[in-house]
């Protein structure tokens, strides 16, 4: 297995099929046997797991990882990373706020010799659509502070949308103790940088989930104030 795409889900029944098909379309030039799409379910009560199983009967790349407990987005991502079998591991959210096409561009950068690539909303060519001013301000402020306080050489440390080599994760996995968002992503990026891994970014467009794509599970309080606990 060359690539593992990890997608945490909780009550995302409505998004399983469109997200699966969007990823498969983006990877149409890659052999089906070379990648897997791992939906990591936190025991959703809405039938998300059953929908993943249904889709997997049509698309062999789609697989269910039943994490079984709702501990936070970081814990779900970690469970997916640990269950994956690809040489390259890629993370994307379930609501298509990020474009699967950008995952392919991240793979190109990994092939150039980088160890981790983050999709940045805050590079000059990056863009955010539909996000409230408050959420944008808090996210942007936190990322600026993290960049300078922790000396991490990228603009979007908190973003879940990223790709990295397996060795990068296995080397630093034991250093990460955060389970929520954005703590998990911050620790992951920090320890990768501390261990000398090459980190870079690509600009991406982030589009806040709209009508018909379910409800966001993230809380401003949990996202922002956890950093000061």
Q: What is the DSSP string of 21-33?
A: HHHHHHTTTS-GG
Q: Residue 22 is encoded by which pair of tokens?
A: 């969007």
Q: What is the DSSP string of the chain?
A: --EEEEEEESS-GGGHHHHHHHHHHHTTTS-GGGEEEEEEE---TTSHHHHHHHHHTT-TTEEEEE--S---HHHHHHHHHHH---SEEEE--TTSSS-THHHHHHHHHHHTT-SEEEEESSSTT-EEES--HHHHHHHHHHHHHHHHHTT-SSS-TT-S-EEEEHHHHHHHGGG----STTHHHHHHHHHHHHTT--EEEEE-EEE---TTS------HHHHHHGGG-
pLDDT per residue as tens digits for the range 123-158: 999 998 887 888 888 889 999 999 999 999 999 999
More confident residue, 221 or 228: 221
Q: What is the pLDDT of residue 220?
A: 47
Q: Residue 27 is encoded by which pair of tokens?
A: 């990877």
Q: What is the pLDDT of residue 78?
A: 97
* pLDDT for 70 beyond 60: yes
The 10 Å Cβ neighbour count of residue 76 is 27
Q: What is the pLDDT of residue 221?
A: 52
Q: What is the pLDDT of residue 155?
A: 97
Q: What is the pLDDT of residue 69?
A: 87
pLDDT per residue as tens digits for the range 150-202: 999 999 999 999 999 999 999 999 999 999 999 999 999 999 999 999 999 99
Q: What is the pLDDT of residue 131?
A: 78
Dist CA 15 CA 98 (whole Å): 13
pLDDT per residue as tens digits for the range 14-68: 999 999 999 999 999 999 999 999 999 999 999 999 999 999 999 999 999 999 8
> Is the bond preceding residue 182 a cis peptide, omega within 30 degrees?
yes
Please say whether the beta carbons of 26 and 100 come within 8 A. Answer: yes
Q: What is the pLDDT of residue 227?
A: 47
* pLDDT for 229 beyond 50: no
Dist CA 16 CA 107 (whole Å): 23
Confidence category of residue 222, pLDDT binned at 50, 70, 90: low
């Amino acid at each position: 297995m060359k690539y593992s795409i990890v997608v945490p889900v909780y009550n995302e029944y409505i998004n399983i099929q469109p997200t699966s098909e969007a990823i498969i379309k983006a990877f149409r030039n890659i052999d089906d046997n070379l990648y897997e799409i791992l939906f990591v379910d936190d025991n959703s009560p809405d039938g998300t797991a059953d929908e993943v199983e249904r889709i997997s009967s049509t698309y062999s790349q789609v697989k269910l990882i039943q994490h079984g407990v709702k501990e936070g987005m970081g814990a779900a991502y970690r469970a997916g990373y640990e269950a994956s079998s690809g040489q390259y591991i890629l993370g994307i959210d379930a609501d298509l706020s990020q474009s699967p096409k950008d995952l392919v561009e991240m793979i190109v950068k990994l092939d150039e010799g980088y160890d981790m690539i983050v999709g940045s909303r805050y590079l000059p060519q990056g863009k955010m659509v539909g996000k409230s001013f408050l959420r944008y301000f808090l996210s942007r402020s936190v990322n600026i502070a993290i960049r300078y306080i922790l000396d991490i050489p990228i603009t979007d440390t908190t973003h879940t949308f990223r790709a990295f080599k397996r060795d990068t994760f296995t080397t630093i996995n034991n250093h990460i103790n955060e389970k929520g968002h954005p703590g998990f992503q911050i620790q992951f990026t920090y320890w990768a940088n501390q261990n000398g891994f090459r980190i870079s970014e690509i600009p991406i467009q982030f589009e806040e989930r709209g009508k018909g794509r379910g409800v966001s599970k993230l809380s401003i309080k949990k996202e922002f104030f956890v950093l000061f606990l």
